[in-house]
Amino acid sequence: MTGSWVPVALSSDLPSGTVLPARIPAGPLALWRSQSGRVAASADRCPHRGMSLSHGFVRGETLSCIYHGWSYGQAGNCLRIPAHPGLTPPEAIRTVTHPVAEADGVVWVAVGEPAATPPGLAGLVPLRSITAFVDIAAIEAAAGAKATAEGLLDAGDIRLLLSSTREGETLIHVLIAADAGPAERIAAARTAEALRRRAEDIQKKGAAQ
Amino acid sequence: MTVGPMFDEWYPVGIFGQLDAAGRKTMLMGEPIVVARDDNGDAKVTDGTGRSLPVCVRYGHVWTSLGDPKKKLFAIPEADQPGRRFVDVGVVRVRCSPLRAVENFLDIAHFPFVHTDILGAEPHTEVQAYKVEIREDVDEVWATQVEFYQPQAAKSASGGITTQYMYRVAGPTSTVLYKTCPPRPSEWDVITLFVQPLAEDLCDVWPWMALFDDDTPMTDLIHFQQTIFLQDRSILENQVPRLLPLDPGMEMPTRADLTSVAYRRWLKRHNFTYGAQLVAQ
Amino acid sequence: MMKLYDYILSPSCYKVRLMAALTGTTLDLRAVDFHPGLEHRGPELLALNPAGSIPILEDGDVLLTESSAMLVYLAAKAAPDWLAGSDAKEAARVQQWLSFSGRLTSSLGGARLHEMLLRPGDIGALQSSGIAALRELELGLVEQAERGQKFLAADRPTVADIACFPYVALAPDGGVSLDPYPAIRLWSRRLRSLPGFIEMPGIHRLHELKPEPQLEKSET
């Protein structure tokens, strides 16, 4: 195995017909779900004039750039250039795409050549995603526990799936038992905020030393 | 980074009518400068060491240069034409290359998506062929015979019309647009974008207009243009890379982008590369 | 007709225009040269509002200078559904977010004026208090979703949503990214999809709400 699956977003945060910004080590992504429900991950840059595609819009089965409306398919090929309605866009116009898998309510993007399927979540379901302006080490310090190679961290009162998005920034997916009720889920959502506060304090103090 | 030949060009650094003795502290290509009025009420620009810089007051704005301008500031003859109203739209700061700000201004294909229901609307997205040239006598980029369907082309327009345009790059960060003038079909409205490069990836933009429009209140004219530019701003702050790529492999133009292609070629020819990315990274 | 002293780039003025559009209320807009003219600090407007802020709403003998009050006024006159119902929790939540919206104005709004129109301010402090406010809003929306409610105070949009939406949606104008807030993204999309929704500069049209329009052959 020479790669890994990066948990970039929760399935519930990406309804049909929407696009959102995400991040893997190779850089920013436009993660989008077509009207029929298919998820795709494209480099977050329109090859035409460099506009971020995550600011764009999804119509039917295509992702369009907000700047000039250039549309792209799942495979990253340009399908339409509105300034030239009669033109079939040349093959050379395409965005870089990455393989995507959806499992356990999480959208995963393949980096390199990972295992056939993303790691499991030990019977848990995702609750929400939050971003912390810290490295994973600060979250581990705040939680008093180490994350597994897959990024799973058991902090006792809360369980997390961690993904480093860039230096000094970590995406935290909060996990919870599938049968937890609303009160328990709201409590977990707040516990995650408290953990983030502690982790950001730790990182700040570390930086000050 | 050395500034190169752009060092000797003119740049807008403030609205003359709004200057006071206290002055405006600002930047020009990384250098701190102060733009103020002297005891005679004339504009005065000094750099960080107190050295006086060349000054010219024109088109509502104070212009200066860190170097030694080889030419006078470009001419806009319409600025002296009786009956026009001159509109100082005011400064807007944008976190982008000054060259990207100019290039966006030269583009019409984004109208339906960014200036929706004002300067363009689907399904009227097609850009018809137009003419682009570098006019050697004046050393300017010109695009002529540009046409686009617009739902509301100007504050004085009611309803959709096919608008005619001419675009002109008069300096590396100064561009002028001539556009159908609804109340006076024989004349052109003049709309400019004067860009002050603060850094390679940061600029202050000073739109200015010379219009035939006796009816629309001045504030409405200002707000129309601010609306348009603020719609562009959120695009400009999200282009990657922030600098304008001059490497032809980095971005893919089509026929609709011929003005931008000529602008990039003209920048390269003059080594006007402050705010440009030369090699793909 | 109600008269709004308005600036097209002001998120607070936009709240009132948006509320009017969503409730089918027609406003008489009086454009104020806020930038570059600083007209809001001139004698005519100071006579109406000594605080020197806009929007200002005039309707007969009613003169309002706080945007939250204007939202309540418009809703009460034209669409009471946008106000809190009689449920104590709902009423409190509406009030909570109306008050909270003031923090969005001072933090994200301050950062935006600094970054865009060069107004003075401590940009680092403005941005970090803006991020703190966005995190609270995000958590509020997550909790609402757990209660089965799609908007800030109820399962229907209220004045609370309109009070918070503009400064949040325009946070990137002040250099504050909205990327880390999935619940805010979904909420914002819900608001932008409402019938009658209008944009302001910096908030683009949701082009996906219309199918790809086809040019009629006769039009070409």
pLDDT, residue B181, reads 87
Q: Which of C89, C134, C142, C177 to mutate to test the interface with A (most CBs of A within 10 A)?
A: C142
The range of the structural domain enclosing residue C129 comes to 84-192
The domain defined by A4-111 folds into: Rieske Iron-sulfur Protein (2.102.10)
CB atoms within 10 A of CB B150: 26
Q: Are A129 and A197 in contact (CB under 8 A)?
A: no
Domain holding C151: CATH number?
1.20.1050.10
Q: Is residue C205 part of a domain?
A: no
Interface confidence (ipTM) of the complex: 0.96
pLDDT, residue B183, reads 81
Min Cα distance B59 → chain A (Å) is 30
If asked whether residues C9 and C35 sit together in one domain, one would say: yes
If asked whether residues C33 and C110 sit together in one domain, one would say: no
Size of interface A-C (CB pairs under 8 A): 50
- pLDDT band of residue B26 (cuts 50, 70, 90) is very high
Closest residue on chain A to B148 (Cα): A83
Question: For chain C, how many structural domains are there in total?
Answer: 2
If asked whether residues C66 and C89 sit together in one domain, one would say: no
Strands (E) located in chain C: 2-6, 27-31, 56-59, 62-64
Min Cα distance A116 → chain C (Å) is 28
If asked whether residues C107 and C63 sit together in one domain, one would say: no
Q: Cβ contact (<8 Å) for A51 and B127?
A: no
Q: Is residue C203 part of a domain?
A: no
Residue ranges of chain A that CATH labels 2.102.10.10: 4-111
Domain holding C53: CATH number?
3.40.30.10
pLDDT, residue B248, reads 82
Those of residues 232-261 in B touching chain A at CB distance below 8 A are: 234-235, 238-241, 245, 250-256
If asked whether residues C67 and C90 sit together in one domain, one would say: no
Min Cα distance B137 → chain C (Å) is 37
Domain B75-277 in CATH: superfamily? Naphthalene 1,2-dioxygenase Alpha Subunit; Chain A, domain 1 (3.90.380.10)
Q: Which of C52, C81, C110 is at the close of a domain? A: C81
Q: Which of B130, B238, B255 to mutate to test the interface with A (most CBs of A within 10 A)?
A: B238
Q: Which of C56, C81, C106 is at the close of a domain? A: C81
Q: Chains contacting A with at least 3 CB pairs below 8 Å?
A: B, C
If asked whether residues C128 and C28 sit together in one domain, one would say: no
Q: What distances in angstroms separate CA A153 from CA A161, A168, A180, C57, one per listed residue?
A: 6, 18, 19, 53
Structure token pair of residue B169: 């790059």
Q: Is residue C213 part of a domain?
A: no
For residue B268, give the 3-state DSSP assignment. Answer: helix
- pLDDT band of residue C220 (cuts 50, 70, 90) is very low
- What is the mean predicted confidence (pLDDT) over C135-158? 98
If asked whether residues C56 and C113 sit together in one domain, one would say: no
User: Where along chain B do its domains lie?
Assistant: 1-73, 75-277
pLDDT, residue C218, reads 45
- pLDDT band of residue B159 (cuts 50, 70, 90) is confident
Min Cα distance B66 → chain A (Å) is 31
Q: Cβ contact (<8 Å) for C116 and B237?
A: no
In the 8-state DSSP scheme, what is residue A122?
A: T
Domains B1-73 and B75-277 share a fold: no
* pTM: predicted TM-score of the whole model, two decimal places: 0.96
pLDDT below 50 — which residues of chain A? none
pLDDT, residue C219, reads 43
* CATH number for region A124-208: 3.30.70
* CATH number for region B1-73: 2.20.25.680
Mean pLDDT (chain C) is 96
If asked whether residues C72 and C90 sit together in one domain, one would say: no
CA angle C70, C33, C117 (to 5 degrees): 95
| Dmax (CA) of chain A | 62
Q: Indicate the residue of C135, C204, C212 with minimum beta-carbon distance to A66.
A: C204
pLDDT, residue B184, reads 87
Closest residue on chain A to C202 (Cα): A55
Q: Is residue C215 part of a domain?
A: no
Q: Cβ contact (<8 Å) for A189 and C142?
A: yes
Residues of B in contact with A85 (CB under 8 A): 125-126
pLDDT tens for B217-265 read 999 999 999 999 999 999 999 999 999 999 888 899 999 999 999 999 9
How many whole angstroms separate alpha carbon B79 and alpha carbon B225?
A: 18
